[in-house]
Amino acid sequence: MSRPVVHFPFTVPGPADLVVYTKVDAAFDRVVSGFGAPLFETLNPPFPTARLKRMDGNRLGHRIELELDFGLFTQEWTGIISAQFESSSQYWFVDRGERLPFFLRSWEHYHGISAVSAGETRIIDAVRFRQAPWIPRFLMHWMLVLLMRYRSPRYKRYFVLC
């Protein structure tokens, strides 16, 4: 049985290239308020490491600036929050890449937070991307799947401890 196609609020309408769902044992309000620089540091993968240079927040128009360290070279990443929504049981924002590493042509990352119950929340990471033409799509896709799945246990641990 196939999953239904879910459309996220990207700049160009359409389905995500990859989606990872994570349930955490924490109240919705605590998860929403926990989305900031300390969480970003917790989610930072071992490779490439990312140095957070600027993070205004998760509201419309806010900027995020990173320096990705690949060991032999670094790459700048600048994103802007291009869409955002908040209600009593749902919160989401989309970061859109403005300045990207050489291997990406476009990037949009939907960060969704939904209340499941009083003490349980679902985090959704949905990504749309376009890679450089010389990189096979399946390779970039699976590298990003691994990076997004790396986040799930860290989300769970972070929201239990904070």
Q: Is 25 part of a structural domain of the chain?
A: no
Work out how many domains the chain is built from and give that number. 1
Instruction: Name the residue range of residue 112's domain.
Output: 37-161
Q: Is 19 part of a structural domain of the chain?
A: no
Q: Is 12 part of a structural domain of the chain?
A: no
Burial of 91 (0-12, 13-18, 19+ CB in 10 A): buried
pLDDT by residue for the chain (162 residues), tens only, comes to: 455 445 566 655 567 899 999 999 999 999 999 999 999 999 999 889 999 999 999 999 999 999 999 999 999 999 999 999 999 999 999 999 999 999 999 999 999 999 999 999 999 999 999 999 999 999 999 999 999 999 999 999 999 876
Q: Is 21 part of a structural domain of the chain?
A: no
Q: Which residues contact 130 (CB under 8 A, 6 or more apart)?
A: 104, 105, 106, 107
Enter the pTM of the model: 0.89
Q: Is 86 part of a structural domain of the chain?
A: yes
Nearest in space to 60 (alpha carbons), one of 109, 93, 87: 93
Q: What is the CATH number for 53?
A: 3.30.530.20
Q: Is 55 part of a structural domain of the chain?
A: yes
Q: Is 102 part of a structural domain of the chain?
A: yes
Q: Is 104 part of a structural domain of the chain?
A: yes
